[in-house]
């Protein structure tokens, strides 16, 4: 006898990959315009990680 499917979760998780890439790309472009591409890359990565951690925290509540 087949078992019933579990009930779907009320919220689907939010993906943050595109936001991370967008923050990374924005950091590279701004860093390039200011002559500090590496710092822009690192700042964009930090902002992207912060956004993804916020999304993870929000989804867990």
Q: Give the H/E segment covering residue 59.
A: helix 37-60
> Helix crossing, 37-60 with 17-34: angle to 10°?
160
Average pLDDT over residues 6-10: 66
Model pTM? 0.74
pLDDT surpasses 80 at 24? yes
For a pLDDT cut of 90, what percent of the chain falls above it? 61
């Amino acid at each position: 006898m087949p078992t019933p499917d579990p009930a779907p979760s009320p919220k689907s998780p939010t993906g943050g990959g595109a936001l991370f890439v967008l923050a990374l790309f924005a950091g590279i472009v701004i860093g390039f315009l200011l002559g500090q591409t590496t710092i822009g890359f690192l700042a964009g990565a930090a902002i992207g990680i912060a956004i993804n951690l916020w999304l993870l925290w929000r989804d867990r509540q």
